[in-house]
Structure 1
Amino acid sequence: MRRLGSALLAVSMFAGCGGLETEPSPESLTSPSFEAQQAPITTTNVDVAPECTGIITFVNTASFQTLDAYLPSNVATNLVSRRSTALFTSLADVSSVNLVGETRLKQIEQGARATGAIGSSCVGIFDGLAISTSDAAAIVSLVNTIPDSELHDVLPDAWNGAANLLNLRPFTTAQAISNVTGIGDVSFRSIRNAATLSRPFEALASALNAIPSNGSHGAQLKRHFDWWDEVTAYHGYSQGGPTCFGLEPSSVPSGAAIRPNLANAAEVRAAVVNTINYVNGNTLISASVRNAGLANLDALSAGRSFKGCIFSYSDDPWSRHNVSIFVDTVNGFSVFTETWWAE
């Protein structure tokens, strides 16, 4: 899929396109024409989606005269001077050039689009990120559906921005999200990452959740959830915990035991693997989905610290649920595991 997306981009560079293009409306996201334009999700923490790399190509290869048609002459001169010593590799790299800011980046995007360097699969540049159509759709979907507690965990240093998003949603475009007061380069990137970087793990969770229950035991994985609701939900027969770690005093559920040490990548992985094995997911889930999901989990959790809670409960005296909740203390990446049995 990635090679196909790159190939389509290369074709668009020669085909050309006129004028500025706008982000697709929600109604167009399901249309046949949009499906043909849909681009793969950006799966790494870069500031240029592969479908938008033509923006960097444009800055690196356009003549001074072409750059000068879209930018002030002194900015074009600075870009040409800088690329003579080292080609640009990212938007952050371009932005490091004197006099290049958000307005100049949008003008560069305009030039790249008008000259055919980027096509319809690249929506454009917002808050220092060049995003694809799939990135934009994922961002809108996440912001419109993410629980309150998770959104604030994704944006720990932009609480006003998170509150504004919650008050103003639903959104129809990524640009509208970018325009919200309190959302800037760091927070918009955090939202993009939360929306796109964990797709292989989400596919693993979906595959596990699709395993039919045999009536006596089962399991589930979640990537997006409201951890506060999960921990504080009423259960008829509490059997253990919760034992919580890393939470603010005001966020610790009543009666919880406090564990001094945060969870690490190994603990999170062990909880996920145990959940998979509990329902024989190691054989019922395809090796490609399982391996990709666990590799994605490893990449997102390596070296990270997690807050959360671990607890058990019963719906009645003849059953038991064991739950583990982990939330990255910096970027809000969250994992929920649950196993249950019933007599």
Structure 2
Amino acid sequence: MRRIGQALLAVSLFAGCGGTEIDPSSESIEQRQSSLTQTNVDVAPECQGILGFVNTASFQTLDVYLPSDVATNLVTRRAAAPFVSLADISSVRLVGPTRLEQLASGARNEGFIGSSCIGILDGLAVSTDDAAAIVSLVNTISDSELHDVLPDAWNGASNLLNLRPFTSVQAISNVAGIGDVALRNIRNAATLSRPLEALIDAVNAVPQNGLYGANMARHFDWWEVVTTRGTYRVGRLECFGLEPSSVPYGATVRPNLADAAEVRAEIVDTLSAANQNNQISSSVISAGLANLDALTAGRSFKGCYFSYADDPWSGNNVAIFVDTVNGFSVMTETYWSE
């Protein structure tokens, strides 16, 4: 039996899920993961002290790190409502990137943040864990996925590909074409699907029984997967939402995009195929599916379904989904062998 087709062997991180209806995540898991599924959050949990500093430091303390008029504006504004984000702070008159950096410096010097918070880069307060994930993703991501993650920063994406490998998130932030929106998109791609990726790893670790199995992926080159399928036979190839120039040869094109329900159904079916003997922890399943739901709610997806075989005695069925706006992607595969 072939565990996975040649085109999928190059895939590094596997994502997706499937199975029968699963109990929803427990409250404690949802609370732990809530900040990881909010794409607009601009302060990592390890950097929340920056907000604490701005909201509680006296005028005299703020005045040490900022011009007096800026400190006055912050104190006046927070009297009406506490600051909840860097964007909120930046809405105050005279506060820009330089003032945010000064606030981060003040928060560090006054003990509000520690070494687990790197600081503020392109409007994001980044933790050391997030920074490591961002560097790892940028150094390994495929061309096609990176351009899907950065649909409005193609020059920035090309520059990243040409200049990698990187050793720091600061170096990535400094690349021409990478600004606030681009860095946030990269951060989201690198960090927001951790519970889902844990489920993916669990699915791919399930021992195979020699007759059938399943795999999933979170980061992959969808063009390579679709166009290098099947050394023996290619069956169904149906795509949707692709640019005409990106439609693989011989594919049929359906008019409607996929939605969150379609993505979830495919993942749940794949999870069911992989987890027939209940080897995967229910808490991992619950957290992974809750994370998936948070990331796909209200979204639209391009992608393809296809089947192929590498010999007369096996078959593979693959589904690929890519968010049309932010590039979030998942792939599922089920296979059989005589």
TM interval, shorter chain, is: 0.7 to 0.9
Q: Are residues 1:132 and 2:109 paired? A: no
Out of 235, 240, 261, the residue aligned to residue 240 of structure 1 is: 235
- Partners of 2:211 and 2:277 lie apart in 1 by 19
Give the secondary structure class of the aligned counterpart of 2:302: strand
Structure 1 residue 42 displacement after superposition: 5.7
Q: Are residues 1:179 and 2:174 paired? A: yes
- Shift of the 140–282 alpha-carbon distance from structure 1 to 2, 3 Å rule, reads farther
Give the secondary structure class of the aligned counterpart of 1:43: helix
Task: Identify the residue that residue 5 of structure 1 maps to in structure 2.
Answer: none
* Contact 2:50/2:103 (8 A) holds in 1: yes
Gaps of 5+ in 1: 1-39
Out of 149, 160, 165, the residue aligned to residue 160 of structure 2 is: 165
Q: Are residues 1:86 and 2:81 paired? A: yes
Matched to 1:76, the amino acid is A
Task: Identify the residue that residue 301 of structure 1 maps to in structure 2.
Answer: 296
Structure 1 residue 237 displacement after superposition: 2.9
Structure 1 residue 41 displacement after superposition: 11
Task: Identify the residue that residue 318 of structure 2 maps to in structure 1.
Answer: 323
- Partners of 2:65 and 2:275 lie apart in 1 by 59
- Partners of 1:111 and 1:165 lie apart in 2 by 32
- Shift of the 295–281 alpha-carbon distance from structure 1 to 2, 3 Å rule, reads farther
Matched to 1:94, the amino acid is I
Out of 177, 184, 188, the residue aligned to residue 189 of structure 1 is: 184
Matched to 2:195, the amino acid is P
Task: Identify the residue that residue 260 of structure 2 maps to in structure 1.
Answer: 265
Query: C-alpha root-mean-square deviation of aligned residues, in Å?
Result: 1.4
- Partners of 1:296 and 1:84 lie apart in 2 by 36
After TM superposition, list the pairs within 5 Å mapping 1:220-235 onto structure 2: 220-235=215-230
Structure 1 residue 43 displacement after superposition: 1.2
Stretches of 4+ aligned residues off by more than 4 angstroms = none
Q: How many pairs were matched up? A: 304
Structure 1 residue 75 displacement after superposition: 1.1
Structure 1 residue 80 displacement after superposition: 1.3
Q: Are residues 1:95 and 2:86 paired? A: no
- Partners of 1:86 and 1:247 lie apart in 2 by 45
Task: Identify the residue that residue 195 of structure 2 maps to in structure 1.
Answer: 200
Q: Are residues 1:54 and 2:49 paired? A: yes
Task: Identify the residue that residue 3 of structure 2 maps to in structure 1.
Answer: none
Task: Identify the residue that residue 111 of structure 1 maps to in structure 2.
Answer: 106
TM-score, normalising length: structure 2: 0.87
Structure 1 residue 53 displacement after superposition: 1.0
Out of 286, 289, 292, the residue aligned to residue 291 of structure 1 is: 286
Structure 1 residue 281 displacement after superposition: 4.7
* Contact 2:305/2:320 (8 A) holds in 1: yes
1:88-110 superposed Cα distances (whole Å, 9 cap, x missing partner) = 11111000001111111001111
TM-score, normalising length: structure 1: 0.86
- Shift of the 74–301 alpha-carbon distance from structure 1 to 2, 3 Å rule, reads same
Task: Identify the residue that residue 43 of structure 1 maps to in structure 2.
Answer: 36
Structure 1 residue 282 displacement after superposition: 6.8
- Partners of 1:319 and 1:97 lie apart in 2 by 62
- Partners of 1:70 and 1:161 lie apart in 2 by 33
Task: Identify the residue that residue 332 of structure 2 maps to in structure 1.
Answer: 337
Percent pairwise identity: 72
Structure 1 residue 268 displacement after superposition: 0.8
* Contact 1:41/1:134 (8 A) holds in 2: no
Give the secondary structure class of the aligned counterpart of 2:331: strand
- Partners of 1:210 and 1:341 lie apart in 2 by 17
Matched to 2:37, the amino acid is T
- Partners of 2:277 and 2:252 lie apart in 1 by 33
Gaps of 5+ in 2: 1-32
Give the secondary structure class of the aligned counterpart of 1:74: helix
1:44-96 superposed Cα distances (whole Å, 9 cap, x missing partner) = 33111111111111111112221111111221111111112211111110000
Of structures 1 and 2, the one with the larger relative CO (CA 8 A, separation 6+) is 2
- Shift of the 153–282 alpha-carbon distance from structure 1 to 2, 3 Å rule, reads farther
Out of 265, 269, 274, the residue aligned to residue 274 of structure 1 is: 269
Task: Identify the residue that residue 121 of structure 1 maps to in structure 2.
Answer: 116
Task: Identify the residue that residue 74 of structure 1 maps to in structure 2.
Answer: 69
* Contact 2:37/2:291 (8 A) holds in 1: no
1:125-152 superposed Cα distances (whole Å, 9 cap, x missing partner) = 1111111111111111111111111111
Matched to 1:271, the amino acid is E
Structure 1 residue 240 displacement after superposition: 2.0
